[in-house]
Structure 1
Amino acid sequence: MSAEDIRAALRSVKYPGYSRDIVSFGLVQDIRVDGDRVHVVLHLNSPNVEAGRKIREDSQALLESLPGVREAVVELIQPAAAGAGGPDPWAHQTRVPGVRRVLAVASGKGGVGKSTVAVNLACALQRLQARVGLLDCDIYGPSIPLMMGVRQRPTLSAREMLVPPVGHGVKLMSIGFLLDDDQPVIWRGPMIQKTIQQFLTVVEWGELDYLLVDLPPGTGDAQLSLCQAVPLDGGIVVTTPQAASVGVVRKGIAMFQKVNVPIVGIIENMSFFEAPGGQRIEIFGHGGGRAEAARQGLRFLGEIPIYQEIREGGDRGLPVVVGAPDHPAARAFLEIAEAIRRAVD
């Protein structure tokens, strides 16, 4: 019985109230096997005592039932309960009604094309017959309205809920729909938090298979507000190949792990440029995203080359997946969308 065998077995232990297992949530921190003795360390960031107790009991029972295991020890590391250490920051998480999967698209660094990737992935999933929404959580620099070619403001339903505009079959919400052109957002953290909560709770998203959330760069207020407001089903990390980007992306990965969000995988954007003569030119180096995925034991979802058509589509409000679905760039996004769907469903 190896540590990998134990890890595989623990995938049958579900986090209370979720369909996901404790391995994909990143709770299994260490596994030690010594003959017929097994020692497992679980790290739970939430101080929820009942959840911790159930996870530990289920893990213990599973390990003791495995053939070849005579002694099993499950060590649970967990913060103090709210009464001893303050309120539980995850206590107010609520699922978005009608939405099967909420997936965050993130990067540790700006300028890696994260919003471009989010827009094209949303359109690619829609082309794969999924019901898709796209939430722009980049409050200071919203770009989804431009890239999706939508300018209309949300309307109000009979229940006084915001009805999201639709672009290319994708339901959309962004602070950009509520502002005049070039109007800056000069807000502190609490306003960011309140806005993101409202975009999740007072928007009539309806029935969706996937709600993609385009996060701003970094690990600040918007990221924390989203994680506290809704249980995320996965994080998608976008990087470019060079070391300067990959190094910062590690912080984004660590953020997801710290708040127990399973990481769907890493996408390498701007991987290479193909010259007119067919020569492959690696402007930003090559393979940084794939190497980081391998280093961290994460899924590498794919690479997206540099194509002028991707930039032109974003500027025109017609993503390349919609405007040129047979173009190699569109096929790259469609293949990654398929990989994401397989990973989370």
Structure 2
Amino acid sequence: MTSAGPDAVRAALARVQDPEIRRPITELDMVRGIDVADGTARVELRLTIVGCPAADRIERDVRDAVLAVPGVDAVDLEIGVMTPAERDALVTRLRGERRMPFGPGTLTRVIAVTSGKGGVGKSTVTAELAVALASRGLAVGLVDADVFGFSIPGILGVADAKPTQVGDMILPPVAHGVKVISIGMFVDDGTPVSWRGPLLHRTMQQFLTDVFFGDLDVLLLDLPPGTGDVAITLGQLLPNAEVVVVTTPQAAAASVAERSGLVARQTGQTVVGVVENMSGGVFGSGGGDEVARRLEVPVLARIPLSPAVAAAGDAGVPVMLGDASADPADPADPADPAAPAASAVGELADALLARGRGLSGRSLL
């Protein structure tokens, strides 16, 4: 049998990723030493933190990768933890020099989803849109900025998930291919959040700077309804964001929805279109068209009132995904990608992608 060497083992380990940071463990300086003798590969591994939640998976993946190297019959794995200085160096390298990675000049497309009032399905639209974009092969992040009425974790089925902290860097949970952060991941169930402006501003700033999303194609923000502190803060921090306004078909809702778009424009953000949610049901008609007319933007999608979407949100299984047990004949099945609402969300994703983005404010070098 061919004798394996350290280079072959290191090449194999370069294909093992940290499941939370989503980078190869060799790139993260987690592999500290490799020695191969008599068919046994000895690997020194350093995890980022004590009690790393991904430790078992990393160990399993390392063993599988090394044992797949021709000439290796056994693995002797020594596992330790990075020192605080090593961890700080890693955090600095991952973050780079930019403290506001999604501000003007970013290569990530930032899309904020807003509404004039609550109860229009804005969070459900945002969550389903995130999953639709991820299913199209994009790297997607989602910030639940609706601090007082957070619901994104439940809709995406990660209500019990907790972020991992590496130094002062936060690694967000991943749901259906979407990296998600929400204040709901930091408070106990049923605990109300009653914060005023300065704390809200600091929380949004930390979500955008201390949470490590990695390289994203799209960052979605689920804004709280209305025109309050969070909308103003995110307008100041992310003047480059594109804004999608969600409304219902009720004509009376138009003026309320229009205000959220006008506030976005006051901060320099660009309103790119309107989504009429719960369309074709008992909520009247014309609301989406009226908001679009007032804001002088197109209606990007009309998402019909759908039992499938409601059931999917309750089950934490986005209707966009479907699963092996889904029954296409059951309109209330929590996983039905063939549902008309799922098709409409897919059309919304395609409309946003087709729109492209301008080069204003971004470096071409």
Please tell me the TM-score bracket, short chain as reference.
0.5 to 0.7
Partner of 2:303: 304
Partner of 2:164: 155
Relative to the length of structure 2, the TM-score reads 0.64
Name the larger-Rg structure: 2
Deviations 1:119-157 (A, max 9, x none): 000011111111111100011111011101002110023
Alignment RMSD, CA only? 1.8
State which drifts further: 306-315 or 289-298. Answer: 289-298
Aligned-pair distance for 1:177?
0.5
State the identity %: 46
Distance 1:292 1:230, change over 3 A: closer
Which of these residues, 235, 256, 259, is aligned with residue 264 of structure 2? 256
* Letter aligned with residue 353 of structure 2: R
Whole-Å Cα distance in 1 between the matches of residues 168 and 290 of structure 2?
Answer: 48
How do 1:153-192 residues align onto structure 2 when only pairs under 5 Å count? 153-157=162-166, 159-192=167-200
How do 1:68-87 residues align onto structure 2 when only pairs under 5 Å count? none
Residues 105 and 235 in structure 1, CA contact (< 8 A), matched pair in contact too: yes
How do 1:1-345 residues align onto structure 2 when only pairs under 5 Å count? 94-96=100-102, 100-150=108-158, 151-157=160-166, 159-273=167-281, 283-322=282-321, 323-345=335-357
Residues 104 and 235 in structure 1, CA contact (< 8 A), matched pair in contact too: yes
User: How many residue pairs were aligned?
Assistant: 244
Whole-Å Cα distance in 1 between the matches of residues 311 and 290 of structure 2?
Answer: 30
Q: Which runs of 4+ in 1 moved over 6 A?
A: none
State which drifts further: 212-221 or 322-331. Answer: 322-331
* Letter aligned with residue 164 of structure 2: T
Aligned-pair distance for 1:295?
4.1
Deviations 1:270-295 (A, max 9, x none): 1113xxxxxxxxx1111221233134
Deviations 1:249-271 (A, max 9, x none): 11111111211211110000011
Residues 264 and 344 in structure 1, CA contact (< 8 A), matched pair in contact too: no
Deviations 1:216-261 (A, max 9, x none): 0001111111112233330010000112321101111111121121
Relative to the length of structure 1, the TM-score reads 0.68
Residues 252 and 287 in structure 2, CA contact (< 8 A), matched pair in contact too: no
Deviations 1:56-76 (A, max 9, x none): xxxxxxxxxxxxxxxxxxxxx
Structure 2 residues without counterparts, runs of 5 or longer: 1-97, 322-334, 358-365
Residues 95 and 230 in structure 1, CA contact (< 8 A), matched pair in contact too: no
Distance 1:99 1:140, change over 3 A: farther
Whole-Å Cα distance in 2 between the matches of residues 178 and 93 of structure 1?
Answer: 22
Whole-Å Cα distance in 1 between the matches of residues 153 and 107 of structure 2?
Answer: 22
Aligned-pair distance for 1:99?
5.5
Whole-Å Cα distance in 1 between the matches of residues 169 and 342 of structure 2?
Answer: 34
Structure 1 residues without counterparts, runs of 5 or longer: 1-91, 274-282
Relative contact order, higher structure (CA 8 A, sep 6+): 1
Residues 106 and 215 in structure 1, CA contact (< 8 A), matched pair in contact too: yes
Residues 94 and 230 in structure 1, CA contact (< 8 A), matched pair in contact too: no
Aligned-pair distance for 1:186?
1.7
* Letter aligned with residue 304 of structure 2: P
